[in-house]
């Protein structure tokens, strides 16, 4: 079936044709098998990491549902070619423009903490390479994802389209402001660290929803936070573990 991924820039919505992931392995079955084995080893590494004290994982585990979603995503096709041999190492990697693709364990942990369900609509702030959006796409109804660096937004939209992620919409813009046209969201994930929780994101989160994000505190220290919005609109914050993310940048115009 032909899928579509979409990209929004300056008010224009573009439909990009998608091809099945399997086509990328044509003529290179040995390479595809090797990446599949590396992906399986990465999932095992993530599972083991979650069981360690201080991992931040609820109950010391990442759910089979999240692990299966990660096992299905070809991370090597969402990183620059020169880093493909490192794609399944449990480490962040540069993706250009001074940005990085997050460590897979942190992707798994944030996805687990988000707790999004099959029918949920999720906002992601900080598309980057599109890897986190690809993982979320296998777990929810739709992912709206915003990237402030237009070059990264274009590349992520094209890559997600080619790989068949039809329930992801990518937009180039200021994620601090959220995406009010599609709000409210069942859950929101932020993959860059602001110094304050963006009020527009709280406003766009449904009552009963959850926001997962890094937050910069005193002396530049960052903590991974879970912010829950009660049915009465009351906000409860929980600190999970210390992390290090790139800063959340803003368009001040």
Residues designated catalytic: 102
Name the pairing type of β-strands 4-9 and 168-172: parallel
DSSP state of 88: T
Residues 6+ apart with CB under 8 A from 30: none
Instruction: Name the percent of the chain in helix, strand, coil, to the closest 5.
Output: 35, 30, 35
Residue in 39, 75, 96, 97 with CA at minimum distance from that of residue 159? 75
Residues 6+ apart with CB under 8 A from 199: none
Q: Rounded CA gap, 33 and 31, in Å?
A: 5
Cβ contact 49:60 at 8 Å: no
DSSP state of 102: P
């Amino acid at each position: 079936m032909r899928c579509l991924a979409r990209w929004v820039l300056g008010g224009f919505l573009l439909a990009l044709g998608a091809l099945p992931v399997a086509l990328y392995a044509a003529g290179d079955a040995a390479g595809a098998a090797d990446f599949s084995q590396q992906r399986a080893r990465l999932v095992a590494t993530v599972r083991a990491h979650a069981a360690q004290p201080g991992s931040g994982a609820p109950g010391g585990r990442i759910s089979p549902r999240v692990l299966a979603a990660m096992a299905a995503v070809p991370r090597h096709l969402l990183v620059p070619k020169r880093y493909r041999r490192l794609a399944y190492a449990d480490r962040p990697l540069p993706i250009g423009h001074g940005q990085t693709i997050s460590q897979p364990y942190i992707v798994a942990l944030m996805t687990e903490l988000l707790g999004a369900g099959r029918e949920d609509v999720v906002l992601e702030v900080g598309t980057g390479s599109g890897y986190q959006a690809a993982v979320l796409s296998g777990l929810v109804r739709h992912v709206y994802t915003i990237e402030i660096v237009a070059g990264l937004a274009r590349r992520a939209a094209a890559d997600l389209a080619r790989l068949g992620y039809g329930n992801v919409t990518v937009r180039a813009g200021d994620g601090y402001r959220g995406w009010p046209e599609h709000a409210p969201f069942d859950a929101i994930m932020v993959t860059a660290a602001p110094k304050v929780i963006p009020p527009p994101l709280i406003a766009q989160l449904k009552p009963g929803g959850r926001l997962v994000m890094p937050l910069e505190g005193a002396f530049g220290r960052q903590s991974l936070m879970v912010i829950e919005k009660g049915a009465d609109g009351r906000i409860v914050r929980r600190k999970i573990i210390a992390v290090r993310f790139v800063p959340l940048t803003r368009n001040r115009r």
